[in-house]
Amino acid sequence: MTEQTAADCLFCRLVRREIPAKVVFEDERLFAFEDVRPMAPVHFLLVPKAHFASLNEAPEGAGALLGEILLRAREIARAKGIGETGYRIVLNTAKDAGQTVFHIHFHVLGGRHLEWPPG
């Protein structure tokens, strides 16, 4: 895993508005934005504002935050019109799973038929 601090983390920089993003949701704990390389008609990322690299580094007691992320993903998916047709939530953990930005993040994809297995 590549070590990143909150100072040089891409997603932390997006949260701090140092880099522009198409924001779809923000509150005091969460930040959601459109993926710059969408893999489906609807593809956004949902991140906690608190920086930790992956699920492996999630602090003890993060269960409420992680649950909040899933419920917020559901709410945004509904608002984007894919709540009933279906959506996929993807969490890549570490390099072999395809994680390239080491700030925990959830991809939410929908708006088309998604194949299984994904790849």
Tens of pLDDT, residues 16-73: 999 999 999 999 999 999 999 999 999 999 999 999 999 999 999 999 999 999 999 9
> How many Å from the N-terminal Cα to the C-terminal Cα in the chain?
21
- At residue 7, the pLDDT reads 87
* Nearest C-alpha neighbor of 75 from the set 98, 54, 44: 44
Which positions are annotated as active-site residues?
105
What is the average pLDDT score of the chain?
A: 95
Position with higher pLDDT, 89 vs 1: 89
Q: What is the pTM of this model?
A: 0.93
Fold of domain 10-110: HIT family, subunit A (3.30.428)
Two tokens, residue 90: 């993807």
Two tokens, residue 38: 């969408």
Query: Which secondary structure element, helix H or strand E, spans residue 87, and what is its range?
Result: strand 87-90
* Nearest C-alpha neighbor of 25 from the set 47, 53, 40: 47
